């Protein structure tokens, strides 16, 4: 059974449509939360990859590898058919209109270009407009958005837009710092390279002082 239509970064066919007039930076599609990863299909594919690189998939060290990889993919991509906005549905009405910041939320995700991991930290800030959310819910949003084939830029934008749209925050800001194994172990092989992305919504974008306060507190070492 399909879950309710919601905001996501993908279109119905898995790719961003050419145009979106929702104004949210998201695309609208439906998610099937009852979907289960096709592990046997992954196992067959992994076995073919092992053969293609010249390995023997039946030798002792590799005989169970296809099944292990299938279980791993089911875990790493479990956010693909989960609704991150559901973690923001439970909120508390409070007369608090100053900044809320949660720093150093660890995450692991998979670069969709090479299916290699990128890992790092997310820093989140928002200014409530009468609604505050449990701090652990922000970490759950990060976890759900990260557990799918992903781009760091899209992940950053997705989290910020969720806070602005779902919580009705006056402003929201997100900074993501990460290392990408697709850049550190292959290609240019630059192990010290670090990618930093940011997304600002509402007052975080329009008010330079608010933005500076957030960045100062979020990135303070």
As annotated, the active-site residues are: 111-114, 152, 180, 182
C-alpha 132/C-alpha 92 separation (Å) is 5
Q: Tokens 């084939």, residue?
A: 149
* 215 contact partners, CB below 8 Å, separation of at least 6: 173, 175, 198
**DSSP secondary structure of 60-84:** TTTTTHHHHHHHHHHHHTGGGGS-G
- Sign of the Cα torsion 78, 149, 168, 100 reads positive
Considering only CA atoms, which of 78, 100, 84, 71 is closest in space to residue 170?
Answer: 100
C-alpha 58/C-alpha 62 separation (Å) is 6
Considering only CA atoms, which of 8, 22, 156, 162 is closest in space to residue 87?
Answer: 162
**Would you state the structure tokens that stand for residue 11, as one six-digit string?**
């279109």
């Amino acid at each position: 059974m399909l879950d309710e239509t919601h905001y996501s970064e993908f279109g119905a066919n898995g790719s961003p449509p050419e145009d979106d007039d929702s104004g949210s930076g998201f695309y609208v599609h439906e998610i099937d939360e009852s979907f289960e990863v096709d592990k046997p299909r992954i196992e067959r594919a992994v076995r073919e990859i092992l053969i293609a690189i010249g390995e023997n998939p039946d030798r002792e060290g590799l005989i169970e590898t296809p099944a292990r990889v299938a279980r791993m993919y089911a875990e790493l991509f479990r956010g693909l058919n989960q609704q991150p906005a559901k973690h923001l549905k439970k909120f508390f009405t409070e007369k608090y209109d100053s900044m809320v910041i949660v720093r150093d939320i660890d995450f692991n995700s998979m670069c969709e270009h090479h299916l290699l991991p990128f890992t790092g930290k997310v820093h989140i800030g928002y200014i409530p407009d009468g609604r505050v959310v449990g701090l652990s819910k922000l970490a759950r949003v990060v976890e759900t958005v990260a557990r799918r084939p992903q781009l760091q830029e899209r992940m950053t934008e997705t989290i910020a837009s969720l806070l602005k749209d779902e919580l009705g925050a006056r402003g929201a800001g997100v900074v993501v710092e990460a290392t990408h194994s697709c850049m550190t172990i292959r290609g240019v092989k630059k192990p010290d390279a670090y990618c930093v992305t940011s997304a600002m919504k509402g007052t975080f974008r329009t008010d330079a002082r608010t933005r500076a306060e957030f960045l100062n507190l979020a990135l303070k070492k």
